[in-house]
Structure 1
Amino acid sequence: MSDEPALMSLTAVAKAIADKRLSSREVTQSCLDRIAKWNPALNAFMAIEAEDALKAADAADAALARGGAKGALHGVPLAHKDMYYDKGKVVTCGSKIRKDFVAPTTSTALQRLKDAGTVRLGSLQMVEFAYGPTGHNPHYGAVRNPWNTDHITGGSSSGSGSAVAARLTFAALGSDTGGSIRMPAHFCGVTGFKTTVGRISRAGAMPLSWSLDTVGPLAQTVEDCALLTGLMAGADPEDPTAAQLPVPDYLAAAKQSIKGLKIGVPAAFYVDDLDAEVARVLDETLAVLKKEGAEIVKVELPDQRQLSAACQFVLATEAASLHKRWMIERPQDYGAQVLMRLQNGLAIPAVSYLEAMRWRGPALSAHLAAVEGTDALIAPAAPMPAATIAESDVGNSMEAEAVIQRITRFTRPINYLGLPSLSIPSGFTRSGLPVGMQIIGRSFDEAMLVRIGAAFQRATDFHRRVPKLP
């Protein structure tokens, strides 16, 4: 066991608390100590609630001493993206418009983690209204990448990626509408799980695009993400879109071998125009999977550019619809880039939106036909490692949409199809920046992604590497 509890994985620290080898106060204090040292350099937290966290940790320890453990995460301190409603807490959604908004209820995903026994450390920074892939925020400042603070974290779950990578929290909720879990996971070197649309309830989570939004965790390991997903998944009367399906044992899937599995690699698009070091990491990742017993095959996918364009139509239109009133009444309170993107959504014809929605079923059918005979796909999460904050700070200039499109090029098609995708740390550039690969599955087959990702992490140590304080 590490002398610094905050460096442990979520599953390991939860067991250490349950076995009374560590107290919740010791673990919480360890996280708070790292937050005090790291957050001034990273800007990962929106709010730090040290006193309340220690009181909650003491209460968790007292309950455990009486034999009253609440659940699988009893006494484990966590912080989450500041878009998950927590009754009585200010939830800014990364915006000026909601800087004083007090949540009237608690989101289902967050409540289920609370019911498992977690302790609240505070809340994490995010891109304004979750509408941006870099991590810039004109109201609260950019979140910085702990591997190199001159570089972006990715967004919109920027604080979640940065805080998990720096070991300020053992895990964090993110959201993924166009890549907002997988981008920070890739750029910050952590594991991020975009679940199938409907696998986890979205009740009480700030919406961006009601037909694309997904809830999921970022954590150190696939096993950690499996534990969290299992706790949060399942039907919810507060969200009629939450699937009425049994929740598999994801932790059991994490222990299975991948020998004999067939993993597809796209023959085009996801392997085109890659940064040389991302291409190298992809080759090295495939070599590891082959060594673990998987068969790697090439797959010809339908035109992914059409999927990405359709995703953009859906996302932009639905986001503009949700924000229309504020755009009329409070346009001055938006950041320039987010306002520009929302206004662009107002210009999309209803026919284009409806065509994009109608095509989702046929597009998914074509995808499933193309991947028939494979157990999952693997591809880079993005074509490049993290850019610098300065070079990606394009505001609302003519270059902005081109930068955004390049960063989310490999994530948006998966959002459009509603499929699950697991981003895993897969290597580093020679300058020390993380590179992630995404494992893409069939609807509601998150267990297969867990199986493959966990096998990769048993054979590698990228997920265990920790950045040094700048």
Structure 2
Amino acid sequence: MTLADLSLRSLGTKLRAREISSVELTRWTLDKAEASNRALDAFIRILPENALAAAEKADRDFAAGIDRGPMQGIPYGAKDLFDVAGLPTTCHSKIHKDAVATRDAAVIEKLSMGGAVLVGKMATHEYALYGPDVQLPFPPARNPWNFERITGGSSSGSASAIAGGVLRMALGTDTGGSIRTPSSWSGTVGLKPTFGRVSRRGCFPLSWSLDHCGALTRTVEDAAVALNVLAGFDPLDDDCADVPVSDYTSGLGHSVKGMKIGIARSLLVTASDEVLAGIERVADLLRHSGAEVFDVETPPLAWFGTIIRALLLTEGHHIHEANLRSRVHDFGPLSARRLALGAAYTATDYLACLKVRRMLAQRVSAVFSGCDILLCATTANAAPRYSPVPDPFNPQGPSMTNPFNVTGNPAISVPVGLNSEGMPLSVQLIGKLFDEKTLLQVAQEVETLSGWTEIALPDYTA
């Protein structure tokens, strides 16, 4: 067992008992990050001086009896869309390679105030949009389970570092699935909170109406611990919701007996046979635990894909329009071509999409009037192999993560086993708006019943 095998809770217990110091834990993490990065490229920038200074402060606070919360003294990483004062927020792009932030992002502030230790900035797809693209200033992060498979995006570095046994938690963003997709393909847990649950202030945007901030973690319990730190109202973020925050760990370990779980069949139309078999297995496990599991009817998957594509490209083009006009050749070719599509949408198109989006959200809300949780897949297949990237001018197939960026519901990807080629498979669970507590309760039951907690991380060094 290594330090990476200890949960966030266990690490916190050992730190408070002075069985290990934050400096020792941080030095181990920094060494592991440096060594693993030769293979994984999960980190754009490793921060030894900043990290050790934060670790020393955490140890001083522990010695003085000051308890700042569950992440105190524990290392984490941040996708390089989050501002950290004095450091560049590169967005994995040549254009922002030297864009030094003057203030911490809201979630970085929360973690710093809670005594957490930032050890590095993580690789992403350029502007969280499209990839992997090798024609960028930094290499794409690799999948520790198999270097011939992609990690998924756009929170690729965060997923790679967790699956690679370097970190227990790393920050990510999710506009159409960018937390949940890499989590699915790397065998990690990815929680997209409710829209507005976590502040986006200081995080470089892709789509104002679709972006969510959250965490990728090793386990569901780790996800609950992280959300306890990240969640909360930020009056400086106009889209942050002033809604009470729960103790998200308080439902963990409770029975799912009597819960109503709806299988969203219409969202599974692109799923492979192996993924569908995983869904049925999880459904059976939940039934045996006393949950009521039944099929529900949602709008078709393609409807959500059409709406999210239009909103993302229109809003993304608006954000990047000036640089597209003046520095288009400084973008990677994939993101430049994808963002260019946004210019084709009219104001009438955009307003029509907003109208349909409202209807879709109402339809999903009606489904939740009859169930507590929705069950579907996160991705249609296990991680695909590296291959020539499709033409970004051609429409992509709808993603099973898209619907819940459209509606804003909390959604989590939970690994449940390995496929016939030894790659992780996952399911996606969706909760009612602002009910992450119940979502995490069911997610942990799925994680445990599936046997995932008994599966070791990949030995990518071999």
Q: Shorter-chain TM-score category?
A: over 0.9
Matches within 5 A, 1:92-241: 92-132=90-130, 138-241=136-239
Pair 1:466 & 2:457 matched:
yes
RMSD: 1.7
- Preserved contact between residue 18 and residue 74 of structure 1 (Cα < 8 Å): no
1:66-77 to 2 correspondence within 5 Å?
A: 66-77=64-75
Give, as a single letter, the amino acid of the residue that structure 2 aligns with 1:368: S
Counting only pairs closer than 5 Å after superposition, residues 61-460 of structure 1 correspond to structure 2 as 61-132=59-130, 138-270=136-268, 272-389=269-386, 391=387, 393-394=388-389, 397=391, 401-402=394-395, 405-406=396-397, 409-460=399-450
Q: 2:425 is matched by which residue type in structure 1? A: V
Deviation at 1:134, TM superposition (A): 5.0
TM-score normalized by structure 1?
Answer: 0.94
Q: 1:462 to 1:137 in 2, by over 3 A?
A: farther
Cα distance in 2 between the residues matched to 1:465 and 1:285: 20
Q: How many Å separate the matches in 2 of 1:137 and 1:11?
A: 40
Q: Provide the rounded CA distance (Å) in 2 between the counterparts of 1:166 and 1:197.
A: 29
Compute the displacement of 1:444 (Å).
1.2
Distance in structure 2 (CA, Å) of the matches to 1:253 and 1:159: 30
Closer/same/farther in 2, CA of residues 332 and 134 from structure 1, 3 Å limit: closer
Q: Closer, same or farther in 2 for the Cα pair 1:71/1:269, shift >3 Å? A: closer
Contact 1:275/1:384 (<8 A) preserved: yes
Residue 17 of structure 1 aligns with an amino acid whose one-letter code is: L
Counterpart of 2:413, as a letter, is S
Partner Cα distance (1:15, 1:147) in 2: 30
Judged with a 3 Å threshold, the aligned counterparts in structure 2 of structure 1 residues 219 and 136 are, in CA distance, closer, same or farther, namely: farther
Letter in 1 for 2:457: V
Residue aligned with 1:435, SS: strand
Distance apart, 1:33 and its partner CA: 2.7
CA distance in 1 between counterparts of 2:146 and 2:341 reads 33
Deviates more, 1:220-229 or 1:339-348: 220-229
Verify the 8 A CA contact 1:133 1:180 in the aligned structure 2: no
221-230 or 181-190, which moves further after superposition?
Answer: 221-230
Query: Does the 8 A contact of 1:179 with 1:412 survive in 2?
Result: yes
Deviation at 1:7, TM superposition (A): 2.4
State which drifts further: 18-27 or 162-171: 18-27
Describe the shift of the 1:136–1:292 C-alpha distance in structure 2 as closer, same or farther (beyond 3 A): farther
Secondary structure, aligned partner of 2:60? helix
Q: Is the 8 A contact 1:182 1:423 kept in 2?
A: yes
Residue type at the aligned position of 1:173: L
Report the residue type matching 1:452 in the other structure: V
Deviation per residue, 1:1-60 (Å, 9 max, x gap): x3x212222222122212212111221122223223321111100001224323332332
What is the CA distance between 1:71 and its match in structure 2?
Answer: 2.4
Deviation at 1:295?
Answer: 1.5
- Measured in 2, the distance between the counterparts of 1:249 and 1:322 equals 35
Give the distance between the partners of 1:374 and 1:81, measured in 2 at CA: 34
- Return closer, same or farther for 1:77/1:278 CA change in 2, 3 Å cut-off: same
2:368 touches 2:432 (CA, 8 Å); kept in 1? Answer: no
Name the residue aligned to 1:24.
Answer: 22
How many pairs align? 460
Contact residue 126 and residue 135 of structure 1 kept, 8 A: no
Query: C-alpha distance in 1, partners of 2:254/2:132?
Result: 35
Q: Tell me the distance in 2 between the aligned counterparts of 1:388 and 1:53.
A: 35
Contact 1:136/1:143 (8 A) holds in 2: no
**Which residue identity does 1:313 align to in structure 2?**
A
> Where does residue 57 of structure 1 map in the other structure?
55
Q: Classify the secondary structure of the residue corresponding to 2:215.
A: strand
Which stretch of the first structure deviates more once superposed, 29-38 or 132-141? 132-141
Mapped to 1, the partners of 2:134 and 2:403 lie a distance apart of 23
Aligned partner of 2:34 among 36, 41, 44: 36
- Aligned-residue identity in percent: 35
Q: Which amino acid letter does the alignment assign opposite residue 389 of structure 2?
A: V
Shift, 1:143, TM fit: 1.1
CA deviation profile, 1:99-140 (whole Å, cap 9, x unmatched) = 011101111111111111111111100000000265766331
* Inter-partner Cα distance in structure 1 for 2:205 and 2:270: 33
Partner AA of 2:403 in structure 1: P
TM-score for the superposition, normalised by structure 2? 0.96
In structure 1, give the amino acid aligned to 2:361: L
8 Å CA contact 2:417–2:451 kept in 1: the answer is: no
Distance in 1 separating the partners of 2:312 and 2:448: 37
Unaligned runs of 5+ in 2: none
Per-residue displacement from partner, 1:201-258 (whole Å, max 9, x unpaired)?
1111111100110011100111111111121111112102111110012110223211
Aligned counterparts of 1:453 and 1:137: Cα–Cα separation in 2: 38
Letter matched to residue 9 of structure 2: T
Whether the 8 Å CA contact 1:94–1:137 is kept in 2: the answer is no
